[in-house]
Amino acid sequence: MLKINIKLLTLSSTFASLYAILQFLPLFPVFGAPGRFITAGNIIAPIIGLALGPIIGALSTLIGGLVSCLITGYGTFGPLSPLPAVSSSLYAGLIKYKKLELCIIFYIIGLIVFAFYPNVGPIWIFPFFIWMHIIGLVLTILMRKFLKSFDLNKPERQIKWIITLMVSSTLFGHLTGCFLFELMYYPAIINSIKSWKLLWETLTFIYPIERLIIASLASIICLPVLKILKATRFH
């Protein structure tokens, strides 16, 4: 039991440190929040959940996120800035343990809360914005039906499983980020409904490209990481 705890402590601290470091590497600007960036930490967040499980993975990501916030100053969402990545880790960890029904419930709740946010939610002013998130929900439902096993001895099935997991997990993290953006930027920072409509219209095809890039990089990194952990008996 002690050895298991030491392994978890070692892995969680390592992943937390890695996530904190990657927070210093910007990937894409945050539209509507000048000077803020989506960082490379989003690439590793679902991998952390997959490697450590939902609870330890989410805690590891949270610690890494808080450390980076303390060093650089709070991010786009103040002290809540780590939550999108934490939710991505949690989601991936739940999928690892085949809690797909719970993932579906979380995704539906997240989509409703974001899309129907009073006044500025995309359902009210530009419903087409959520098209990629509908696909993310469908992917999670399909995983429940077709991708039930996690078997490293079947590479083709494993790759398909990982890609689907990474896409749905990064999209769930994006849902969390979008909701926080609404919560913290309306009406305090962006109070014009026209500005919000323009924002959703502008991002409709941009955020899917960003999320697919993040998910693709995470998928490329994920399998070697899991194999290394398995070979070293950490997984």
Q: How far is CA 165 from the centre of its chain?
A: 10
Q: Residue 77: is it exposed, middle or buried by C-beta count within 10 angstroms (0-12/13-18/19+)?
A: buried
What is the predicted pLDDT for the residue at 2? 41
pLDDT tens track for 183-211: 999 999 999 999 999 999 999 999 999 99
20 C-beta neighbours (distance < 10 Å), count = 22
Query: What's the pLDDT tens digit per position in 94-137?
Result: 988 888 889 999 999 999 999 999 999 999 999 999 999 999 99
Classify 53 in phi/psi space as left (phi over 0), alpha (psi -120 to 50) or beta: left
Find the DSSP H helices in the chain: 2-22, 41-52, 54-72, 83-96, 100-115, 122-125, 131-146, 155-185, 193-203, 206-231
Looking at residue 8, what is its pLDDT?
A: 76
- Cα atoms in the 13 Å half-sphere on the side-chain side of 155: 2
User: For 155-168, what is the mean pLDDT?
Assistant: 83
All structural domains of the chain = 2-231 (1.10.1760)
CA proximity to 136, closest of 88, 200, 81: 88
pLDDT for the residue 225: 83
Query: Which residue from 185, 193, 169 is spatially nearest to 107, judged by alpha carbons?
Result: 169
| pLDDT surpassing 70 at residue 153 | no
What's this model's pTM, rounded to 2 decimal places?
0.90
Residues 6 or more apart whose CB falls under 8 angstroms from that of 93 comprise 49, 50, 52, 53, 54, 55, 56, 57, 58
d(CA 85, CA 82): 6
